[in-house]
Amino acid sequence: MPKVHAQHALAGNYHLETRYAAPKWEWFVLDATRPSKTVFSGESATLRAAMKDAATRAGLYPEIVKWMPIGPEIEVPD
């Protein structure tokens, strides 16, 4: 099984996060000025898809968002 970290990113007025919720990845777009305020959320099949979906939903170009590991490394099925 591959080992990965969940990811998070700060992008303008948004805080983007991903987390693994077997067998899918959940993603969240939070209001950076009020971190407990979820603006958008959804589910994706892979970590890469979750990162892309969160950025796109926030109106950002996915390739310019700087994602960083968050939390402990986890193992996910292939």
DSSP for 7-48, written as a single string? EEEEETTEEEEEEEETTEEEEEEEETTEEEEEEEEEEESSHH
Total-model pTM: 0.91
**Residue located via tokens 């990811």:** 7
Residue partners of 56: CB distance under 8 A and separation at least 6: 62
For position 6, what pLDDT does the model report? 94
> How many domains does the chain contain in total?
1
pLDDT digits 0-9 by tens, 6-49:
999 998 899 999 999 989 999 999 999 987 899 999 999 999 99
For position 2, what pLDDT does the model report? 82
Closest CA to 41 of 10, 9, 21, 18: 18
Range of 20's domain? 3-75
Residue partners of 22: CB distance under 8 A and separation at least 6: none
